[in-house]
Amino acid sequence: MDYLASEPIWYTVLFMLTAVHLDTASHTPIYRQLSDHIRESIRSGNLNPGDRIPPTRELAGQLGLNRATIAAAYELLESEGWIKGHVGRGSFVQPWQNELTPISFASSRPSEELFPLDHFRTVCRQVLDGQDLGAILQLGSPFGYEPLRRWLIEDAFTSGISRGSDKVVITNGCQQALDLIARALIQPGDAVLVEDPVYPGLREAFSRSGARVIGVQVGEDGYRLDLLEHALRRDRPKLVLVTPSFQNPTGASLPLDARHRLIAIVRDAGALLVENAIYAGLRYEGAPLPSLKAMDETGETVQLGSFSKIAFPGLRVGWVLAPTRIAAALAETKQWCDLHSDQLSQAVLVRFAESGLLEQHRKRMIETGALRLAACLEACARHLPKTARFTRPQGGMNLWVTLPAPLDAAELLHRAEAVGVSYLPGRFFSATAEPGCLRLSFAGLNPGKIHRGVSLLGTLFKEELARARLAHHSQPALAMV
């Protein structure tokens, strides 16, 4: 919507804007000081939606500045959505509601905009109208709703993941699966190897059980296997947990030869291998890779799965695919925790899956996910400081950014939130992460928001980097004594 009809006499706006105090001695660039002043004038109500901003030439003359400086301030404000330029007409204040709609890269989840709600309502009605509703609403097995377990086992067998000797335990999402494994299989003092950086909920599940949780560095291709071998010899872990496809937070994936080697060295060390496969179905490009569970000829690998990264994470339905003795131990532990998971959610999901709607939705998630990943990679390349590094995953929901020194992603977060963008700093995932590390979760945002959000971050990071370098060069040299 264009706000052109009620243009005020713009010289009143000009007078207001020329009242700004610009500090040429400040480390903050002049164009940034000016944009901050205009933004605050909009926030305070001194400038209203539809107000015309003075032309760059006129404001530059009044302030005694270069026209390019004014243009840079206007460009920044337009990229943030505060003003909009119209060729031949000028720039105008855009409508806003207290703050601009925030753009969050902080949560690794699908977008509710993509949920097939009409299909979901239809399936819910079918389940509620079904003859077995009474049984669904009755107490059930700690292993989970039998029709869903049967569907998952058949799907795993058809996909070559299971050899038929496994059982499924339904859990309240992947997080409870981790908790059950920690409770049932780990004793206080046992060593558990995890990736570093890693999703903090994973690390905490084992830390709270009293385990010695030991991080092994993740490189561009997942686990650093040389470091993993060293940790296996040194720490003699009871369990090794790995996300081989699109690891959270880095997006890294283990190549095929590394998968073979990882299975072998963990088996030789006598440790239990647990594969977190919740992102494996979200491959947007490249040839698919077999899961560790499918590659393990012994059948001993435990695999974690979840519907949450594909559809309806609020239903909290995940599962563990494991050898019979391990599945039985997990089901016994679950019985003492919460008896069993909600059966109505399970009944809806198995009906959704059996009807083909789940696969139809997954394909849509792949199509949109590919566009969102491409948008995030393009935006990072275009807007982040040139010396910033970022991973280039072929799927999943996250990528890992490393900003150049001396930038600190945690310290910059509050400034990013002030312009309407959020992310998670690297120290959230690792105590040893470089200060400049952060995670961008792109799957929940459309390409337009991704470009805008990364653009805002890029502007902030570049300005802070320039300011830090200017401060460093302006420090007086120490006297030689």
Instruction: Give the pLDDT confidence score for residue 181 in this predicted structure.
Output: 98
Task: Order across the sheet with 239-242: list the strands.
Answer: 166-171, 318-323, 302-306, 272-276, 239-242, 191-196, 212-219, 222-223
What does the alpha-carbon distance between residue 173 and residue 439 come to, in Å, rounded to a whole number? 22
Spatial CA neighbour of 290 closest among 318, 319, 336, 257: 257
Class of 114-359 per CATH? Answer: alpha beta
Q: How far is CA 118 from CA 114, 352, 384, in A?
A: 11, 12, 39
Residue 26 CB contacts under 8 Å (≥ 6 apart), including other chains = 33
What residues are paired with 214 via a beta bridge? 193
Checking DSSP bridges between strand 272-276 and strand 302-306, what pairing results, if any? parallel
Q: How confident is the model at residue 17 (pLDDT cuts 50, 70, 90)?
A: low
Q: Which tokens sit at 148?
A: 């869903």
Q: Report the half-sphere exposure of 225 (CA within 13 A, side-chain side).
A: 16
* 69-125 pLDDT tens trace: 998 888 888 877 788 888 777 888 887 654 457 999 999 999 999 999 999 999 999
Query: Residue 322: enclosing H or E segment and its boundaries?
Result: strand 318-323
pLDDT at 10 over 60: no
The domain locations on the chain are: 10-93, 103-112+360-473, 114-359
pLDDT at 421 over 70: yes
What does the alpha-carbon distance between residue 198 and residue 216 come to, in Å, rounded to a whole number? 10
* 374-399 pLDDT tens trace: 999 999 999 999 999 999 999 999 99
What does the alpha-carbon distance between residue 42 and residue 47 come to, in Å, rounded to a whole number? 5
Which of the two residues, 323 and 23, has the higher pLDDT score? 323
Spatial CA neighbour of 442 closest among 171, 248, 275, 190: 248
CATH code for residues 10-93: 1.10.10.10
Instruction: Give the pLDDT confidence score for residue 41 in this predicted structure.
Output: 82
Task: Order across the sheet with 52-53: list the strands.
Answer: 52-53, 90-93, 83-86
Residue 225 CB contacts under 8 Å (≥ 6 apart), including other chains = 258, 261, 262, 265
Q: What angle do CA 145, 170, 154 make, to 5 degrees?
A: 75
Region for residue 29 given its phi and psi (left: phi exceeds 0; alpha: psi -120 to 50; beta: otherwise): beta
Instruction: Give the pLDDT confidence score for residue 480 in this predicted structure.
Output: 52
- CATH 3.90.1150.10 given to domain 103-112+360-473: yes
Q: How confident is the model at residue 2 (pLDDT cuts 50, 70, 90)?
A: very low
What is residue 456's three-state secondary structure?
helix
Instruction: Give the pLDDT confidence score for residue 474 in this predicted structure.
Output: 57
pLDDT at 61 over 90: no
Name the range with the highest mean pLDDT among 16-30, 58-72, 445-459: 445-459
What does the alpha-carbon distance between residue 207 and residue 212 come to, in Å, rounded to a whole number? 7
The model carries a pTM of 0.80
Biggest distance spanned by C-alpha atoms of the chain? 91
Spatial CA neighbour of 461 closest among 381, 383, 399: 383
* 327-343 pLDDT tens trace: 999 999 999 999 999 99
pLDDT at 20 over 80: no
Instruction: Give the pLDDT confidence score for residue 49 in this predicted structure.
Output: 82
What does the alpha-carbon distance between residue 37 and residue 73 come to, in Å, rounded to a whole number? 10
Q: How confident is the model at residue 14 (pLDDT cuts 50, 70, 90)?
A: low
Instruction: Give the pLDDT confidence score for residue 449 in this predicted structure.
Output: 92
Instruction: Give the pLDDT confidence score for residue 6 in this predicted structure.
Output: 41
Q: Which tokens sit at 463?
A: 């300005």
Q: Over range 217-225, report the average pLDDT.
A: 95
Q: Which tokens sit at 445?
A: 């945002």
Query: Residue 90: enclosing H or E segment and its boundaries?
Result: strand 90-93
pLDDT at 363 over 70: yes
* 27-54 pLDDT tens trace: 778 888 888 888 878 876 778 888 888 8
What does the alpha-carbon distance between residue 390 and residue 408 come to, in Å, rounded to a whole number? 15
* 239-286 pLDDT tens trace: 999 999 999 999 999 999 999 999 999 999 999 999 999 999 999 999
pLDDT at 324 over 80: yes
Which residue intervals of 236-321 are DSSP H helices?
A: 256-268, 292-295
Instruction: Give the pLDDT confidence score for residue 98 in this predicted structure.
Output: 47
Instruction: Give the pLDDT confidence score for residue 143 in this predicted structure.
Output: 98
What is residue 268's three-state secondary structure?
helix
* 119-151 pLDDT tens trace: 999 999 999 999 999 999 999 999 999 999 999
- In DSSP notation, 420-436 reads TEE-EEGGGT-TTS-TT
Instruction: Report CA torsion sign: 98, 453, 310, 371.
Output: positive
Q: How confident is the model at residue 5 (pLDDT cuts 50, 70, 90)?
A: very low
* 141-181 pLDDT tens trace: 999 999 999 999 999 999 999 988 899 999 999 999 999 99
